[in-house]
Structure 1
Amino acid sequence: MKKIIYLLMVLFCAQLSAQQFNQDAPWMKELYLEKGAHYQPTFEEVQQYFNAYWADKDHTVKANGFKPFKRWEYYWQNFLNQEGKLPSSQQMWTAWENKNVFTQSFNNNTTMADMSNWQPVGPVTHTNTGSWSSGQGRVNVIEVDPNDADTWYIGAPAGGIWKTTDAGTTWAPLSDELPQIGVSGIAVDPANSSIIYIATGDDDANDTFSVGVMKSIDGGMTWNQTGLNPANSPTSMNDIYIHPTDSNILWVSTNQGIFKSIDAGVNWTQTLGGNMRDMKLKPGDPNTIYAASNNTFYKSTNGGDSFTPSTTGLPAGSGRLVVDVTPANPNYVYVLAVNGGFNYQGVYRSSDSGDSFTAQNTSGPMGSCTQGWYDLALGVSSTNAEEIYLGCLNVWQSINGGTSWTEINSWSNPSGPRYTHADIHMIRSFGGRIFVGSDGGVYSSNDAGATFQDHTAGIQIGQFYKVAVAPNNANKMVGGLQDNGGYA
């Protein structure tokens, strides 16, 4: 990977702005409850509400959400303006564009042209040292080319989008010519695999804010803005889909609702308001679309032009809902719910395309994981409608439609055949293969979860906090990564 970096703009291009922490975190909910839904807090105010929330709680408990905030706080404390806030995504994007103009002018002067040639130094791979932190970096989203089962894409919270054409053996970056962006949603056109859309930003921790939906027509070699761009984009996005038979129709789920385009992304219309955390299309019927906010399930039967709440059988007072569907039974809709304290609330199933739900289990999996606002995943096998996976700290499996569950791996056992790094952000099934995106990378299982293979080698998405170089040998370096230990 070759990354163009200019020292003059390091402060502006390091990452696109994250004015505030994930708005679904409990202390952020309290802040907005008191200050108003559209209030723009200062960095110090966010710290105050965080400290008040944790004043009477044990932050040493694993998987409680304390660490994600402290990491965010550590990084962004150095980027405050005179008002104690961070600049908007539009300000950051404009600064990046101005930098490009300056650089072009600078390089046109042959006596001052930038001759630097930056090269990656890793980490490109990781070795299992017996540590629970074995991994390389967080993966938010995984997508498989609908026309080529060996071509996969992954999106990282601050490491952009990466592509493999050999089923995860080798990887190539696709966003080097962009500022450092996050990617939380990827859609590949089933009619033309060269057309790709990405929903930008980090939906889980706001390590980066969204700069809109971007589009490539050359397989990811170059990218262009769409009608949702830095000037008008919601600050967070997640799922994005292309109509399976009409490539002009798109849907994207954001923290400002569901947006639909009927002209391949040129223009977008908001068809549902609110903070949407998940969206799925009914297999075989793109007119039926499911969406979920933190506490309400919605259904559309007119291609996403309008949505109606569908709450029969679902619990009240949820803190977050996650949805999945399966072509193995298109009428099934599964919902994973956590309560207001982000503890496990239950798994629910609809057999009538989301009109009503039945509780499958309300007292089982997830253990002590209480950071469902940060990492929470649900995936149903694409070949077996009774085979379900959920993730928070670890991965759990059910083979009877969610009635009973088995924890199939543990973050503290990296030598196990089913190991996936802790903190599960995404579980998806493509062609019967189960994919997991976690704080440590991307993993897949071809044997119904009996084993998982780590495909992270070659993906350089580690989030470094600090790097030191030996004073007497420039080839000796050491650095610390978020969630993934230290490298030398």
Structure 2
Amino acid sequence: MSTLFVALGDRLLVCQTDAQRGSDWRVLSTLESHELECVVASSERPDRAFAGTFENGLVRVHAPTDGDDISIEHLETPFVSDAVMSLAISPHDPDVLYAGTEPSRIYRSTDGGNSWTHLSDVTDLPSSDEWYFPPRPHTHHVRWLEVDPFDPDRLYVGIEAGAFVLSTDGGETWEERPAGSRRDNHTLAVHPDREGRVYTAAGDGYAESDDGGESWRRPQDGLEHTYCWGLAVDPSDPNAVIVSSASGASSAHSVDTAESYVYRKTDGEAWTRLDDRGLPTGSGVVRAVFDTTNEGSVYALNNRGLFRSDDFGDRWERLQLEWTDGYESQTPRGLVVLE
């Protein structure tokens, strides 16, 4: 069975199919009264997901099996606020979960979200006085969390906006703003087969690292729109990357003024814009979010629907899901694909 967790602005869709290519989908909706920020799930525990919301804290979602309905739990947490902006599940243990909040704090659970520990405070870093989120300039938040697949104690953090932050000791200490790193990091990624490789799609451009985030390079050639958001890496090729990007925040996120694009880069090549490949881009399309499968497929979610490519972006096919006008007016918050 394939299960997709689709986080829109005002609901979570759980899409399931038994068909090999997903032609017959069952779609269930939950958390309609919540403002979603993120969603995570693990292939080792496909029966559950975790959703972060802006005003209702952290929710554990139990995916339906054998035709059952979705069930949800609002978890009791010691977080500094109910604004859960980012989540990550450790690739080393599906019960180890990280959460990032607004204002910027980072927490860890080792029992699947039942209890939590506040890691050392990232706001003690020297640059924290410069961090701010433009729509709410009095504050900032942890936009993305990533756990290194080769070292469970190595953590990568994107602060929106202000810094890339990393820890080599499980969050006991933090390092900030290494050479070449971006400031407005939106989406981070790692590669399961390339130790040390880290990627970021940031508001101030794209960057990648080969030494676990200690230093960064910025391949920008061909990237005409540099406000980057969504990010996907080919599981079979660490040098093949897809990003969604726009000219700025308004054209990325606001449906009324949206104009976003998708670019792809391979080893030694400039970025190429993926126009006319079956994936909507351009005027009226908000920036996409992505997820990949171990089989090499990449999925894209934007306000026009859900799409799949089996050749890493050469051609895209729309998933045959009911996509209402209400969905077209929303900016996607997250996507998890379990196959």
TM-score w.r.t. structure 2 length? 0.74
**Contact in 1 for aligned 2:81/2:103 (Cα 8 Å):** no
> How far apart in 1 are the matches of 2:56 and 2:292?
28
Quote the offset at 1:232 in angstroms: 6.0
- Structure 1 residue ranges, 4+ long, deviating more than 6 angstroms after superposition: none
Alpha-carbon shift at residue 227 of structure 1 (Å)? 2.2
Q: 1:336 to 1:228 in 2, by over 3 A?
A: same
Equivalent position amino acid for 2:280 in 1: T
Q: How does 1:322-401 map to 2 (within 5 A)?
A: 322-339=187-204, 346-361=205-220, 364-367=222-225, 372=227, 376-392=229-245, 393-400=260-267
Structure 2 residue aligned with 1:164:
16
Shift of 1:288: 1.6
Higher strand share: 2
Q: 1:179 to 1:399 in 2, by over 3 A?
A: closer
SS at match of 2:45: coil
Instruction: State the 1:433 CA deviation.
Output: 1.2
Counting only pairs closer than 5 Å after superposition, residues 25-64 of structure 1 correspond to structure 2 as: none
Matched AA of 1:266: N
Question: Between the two proteins, what is the percent identity of the paired residues?
Answer: 19
Sort the Cα spacing of 1:332 and 1:319 in 2 relative to 1 into closer, same or farther, 3 A: closer
Structure 1 spans left out of the alignment, 5+ residues: 1-147, 201-208, 340-345, 410-415, 465-480
Is residue 254 of structure 1 aligned with residue 119 of structure 2? no
- Give the helix-richer structure, 1 or 2: 1
1:97-116 counterparts in 2 under 5 A? none
Task: For residue 338 of structure 1, report the CA deviation from its aligned partner.
Answer: 3.1
In 2, are the aligned partners of 1:334 and 1:349 still within 8 Å (CA)?
A: yes
Taking the aligned partners of 2:47 and 2:71, their CA distance within structure 1 comes to: 11
CA drift at 1:394: 0.9
C-alpha distance in structure 2 between counterparts of 1:301 and 1:313, whole Å: 19
What is residue 38 of structure 2 aligned with on the other side?
185
Work out whether residues 296 and 311 of structure 1, in 8 Å CA contact, stay in contact via their aligned partners in 2: no
CA contact (8 A) 1:376 1:426 kept: yes
- Equivalent-residue separation in structure 1 for 2:321 and 2:71 (angstroms): 24
Q: Retained in 1: the 8 A contact 2:303–2:330?
A: yes
Runs (5+) with no aligned partner, structure 2: 124-139, 246-259, 332-339
Q: Does 1:242 align with 2:89?
A: yes
Show the 5 A alignment for 1:32-181: 150-166=2-18, 168-169=22-23, 170-175=25-30, 178-181=31-34
Give the Cα–Cα distance (whole angstroms) in 2 for the partners of residues 232 and 299 of structure 1.
21
Structure with higher Rg: it is 1
Give a deviation string over 1:270-319, Cα, whole Å, max 9, x none.
3244512222222243322211112311112233444321421225xx44
Match for residue 458 of structure 1 among 319, 322, 327: 322
CA deviation vs aligned residue, 1:323-361 (integer Å, no higher than 9, x gap)? 22222313211223334xxxxxx4322111111112222
Question: Shift in Å at residue 256 of structure 1?
Answer: 2.5
- Whether the aligned pair in 2 keeps the contact of 1:365 and 1:405 (CA below 8 Å) is yes
CA distance in 1, matches of 2:70, 2:148: 31
C-alpha contact 2:91 2:147 (8 A) present in aligned 1: no
Correspondence for 1:264: 112
User: Would the alpha carbon gap of residues 483 and 198 (structure 1) be closer, same or farther in structure 2, given more than 3 Å must change?
Assistant: closer
Given the alignment of the two structures, is residue 194 of structure 1 paired with residue 51 of structure 2, yes or no?
Answer: no
Distance 2:177 2:56 in 1: 31
Alpha-carbon distance in 1 for matches of 2:108, 2:27: 30
Which has the larger displacement, 295-304 or 182-191?
182-191
1:309 aligns with 2:169: no
Residues 391-429 of structure 1: per-residue CA shift (max 9 Å, x gap): 12110111126x5111012xxxxxx33323522231232
Q: Give the direction of change, closer, same or farther, for the CA distance of 1:364–1:228 in structure 2 (3 Å limit).
A: farther
Offset at residue 237 of structure 1 (A): 1.4
Output the CA distance in 1 between the equivalents of 2:39 and 2:288. Answer: 15
Assess if the C-alpha contact under 8 Å between 1:434 and 1:445 holds in 2.
yes
Write the letter of the residue equivalent to 2:265: S
The residue type paired with residue 330 of structure 1 is E
Alignment partner of 1:283 out of 117, 126, 149: 149
Q: CA deviation at 1:223?
A: 0.6
Shift of 1:444: 1.5
Amino acid across the alignment from 2:293: F
Q: Taking structure 1 as reference, are residues 212 and 168 closer, same or farther at Cα in structure 2, changes over 3 Å only?
A: farther
Evaluate the alpha carbon distance shift between residue 155 and residue 321 of structure 1 in structure 2; reply closer, same or farther with a 3 A threshold: closer
Q: Which residue of 2 aligns with 1:213?
A: 58
Distance (Å, rounded) in 2 between the aligned partners of 1:483 and 1:246: 33
Q: In the aligned structure 2, how far is the partner of 1:184 from the partner of 1:330?
A: 29
